[in-house]
């Protein structure tokens, strides 16, 4: 028997590899992006209550109406948008499924999709699965969008562009000017936009998250992908959503119904009730900024060079003062010899650049971060 090529050459995702290596060597896992602290007990009680109340059968394919209404209300209030809960919102099995399905809906064989590198590792395989080609456009040395290179990469076959803000893995955020430029290019070249905004509530130092939803001409051609797992510390629930205009949503749902069809019912009921109180997501930036500041202050006592972190719960560092090892080898050394797992940024490029950068996740308990810092300071001086 012979399998079609498709994604067989991609191997196992780096997050699985590094998490397994961390477990094998007893390392603190600052690689994979998940919290090691619990979710709000009220949310967990709501989940149990929903299950005990009998909400354990298929919910609507598009998502529980009450949850879609809560998503539309929050998004419209935040960004001045006009998403309709019935026609424009779909609940998904996490952010990865929302991204995958959006790409299946808007691109096909022979198309090209621009991705901004370093890019989250699910984008390129999802594009390939649609029969399209991913065109990687490197960001600047400061991890800003290089719009000149984006323009130079546009061809008659370019069908879509994937943007991610706040940006994983760099921790940078797109500016208002970035979004205006994207809007103009998307209109000029008739592009779809897939916008990965799963870290929308994690922006720091008084900065503002600029969503595609806030730009009417951009929103008209965009799939906005969000994640409750990231926002409410329940990554294992795998609950996300897509907001898009009716025509885009109709195409999205055509694929959604034949991939996952629908999503874990008790969690949808729990989230719908939980969203009645905006305080948990309104306080998220302050919560993670405190962790970021503590982590950065401690890392500053090592030879690692801190790169800017404007959002997300990731801190990228330059280790060139410590080692000349390639990024993947350095990440493996950190995990096996120092006991702290990190992710090499080289895996987020089709053609890795000659840099010395790794990414740490600071969505961890204070004591976890303190132990990790102690190991890094002892090993690196």
Q: Can you tell me the mean pLDDT for 97-117? A: 98
- Where does residue 25 fall: left (phi above 0), alpha (psi -120 to 50 degrees), or beta otherwise? alpha
User: 127 pLDDT band (50/70/90 cuts)?
Assistant: very high
Name the pTM for this structure.
Answer: 0.95
Q: What are the residue ranges spanned by the domains of the chain?
A: 8-39+282-380, 41-280
Predicted confidence at residue 1, as pLDDT, reads 82
* Alpha helical stretches, state H, 120-160: 123-129, 147-153
Predicted confidence at residue 10, as pLDDT, reads 66
Q: Answer whether 8-39+282-380 and 41-280 agree in fold.
A: no
Q: Which of 176, 233, 223 is nearest to 199 (CA)?
A: 233
Percentages (nearest 5) of helix, strand, coil residues in the chain? 45, 15, 40
Please tell me the CATH code under which domain 8-39+282-380 is placed.
3.90.1150.10
pLDDT in tens, 28-47: 999 988 899 999 999 999 99
Whether the pLDDT of residue 75 is over 80: the answer is: yes
Contact 322, 340 (CB under 8 A): no
- The structural architecture, per CATH, of the domain 41-280 is 3-Layer(aba) Sandwich (3.40)
User: 353 pLDDT band (50/70/90 cuts)?
Assistant: confident
């Amino acid at each position: 028997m012979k399998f079609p090529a498709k994604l067989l050459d991609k191997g196992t995702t780096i997050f699985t590899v590094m998490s397994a290596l961390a477990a094998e060597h007893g390392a603190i896992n600052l690689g994979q992006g998940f919290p090691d602290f619990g979710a709000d007990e009220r949310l967990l009680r709501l989940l149990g209550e929903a299950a005990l109340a009998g909400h354990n059968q298929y919910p609507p394919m598009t998502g529980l109406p009450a949850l879609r209404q809560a998503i539309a209300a929050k998004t419209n209030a935040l960004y001045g948008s006009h998403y309709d809960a019935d026609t424009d919102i779909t609940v998904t099995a996490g952010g990865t499924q929302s991204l995958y399905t959006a790409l299946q809906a808007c691109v096909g064989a022979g198309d090209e999709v621009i991705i901004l590198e370093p890019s989250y590792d699910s984008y390129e395989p999802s594009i390939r699965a649609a029969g399209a080609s991913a065109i990687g456009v490197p960001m600047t040395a400061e991890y800003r969008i290089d719009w000149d290179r984006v323009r130079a990469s546009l061809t008659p076959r370019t069908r879509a562009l994937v943007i991610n803000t706040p940006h994983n893995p760099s921790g940078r955020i797109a500016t208002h000017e970035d979004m205006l430029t994207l809007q103009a290019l998307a209109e000029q070249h008739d592009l779809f936009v897939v916008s990965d905004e799963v870290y929308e509530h994690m922006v720091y130092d008084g900065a503002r998250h600029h969503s595609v939803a806030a730009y009417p001409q951009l929103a008209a051609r965009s799939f906005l992908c969000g994640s409750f797992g990231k926002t409410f510390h329940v990554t294992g629930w795998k609950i996300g959503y897509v907001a898009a205009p009716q025509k885009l949503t109709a195409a999205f749902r055509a694929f959604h119904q034949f991939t996952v069809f629908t999503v874990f019912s008790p969690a949808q009921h729990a989230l719908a009730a939980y969203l009645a109180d905006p305080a948990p997501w309104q306080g998220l930036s302050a919560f993670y900024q405190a962790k970021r500041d503590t982590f950065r202050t401690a890392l500053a006592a090592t030879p690692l060079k801190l790169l800017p972190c404007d959002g997300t719960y990731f801190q990228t560092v330059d280790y060139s003062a410590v080692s000349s090892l390639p990024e993947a080898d350095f990440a493996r050394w950190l995990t096996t010899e120092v006991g702290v797992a990190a992710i090499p940024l080289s895996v987020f490029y089709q053609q890795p650049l000659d840099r010395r950068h790794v990414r740490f996740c600071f969505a961890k308990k204070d004591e976890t971060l303190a132990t990790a810092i102690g190991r890094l300071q002892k090993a690196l001086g």
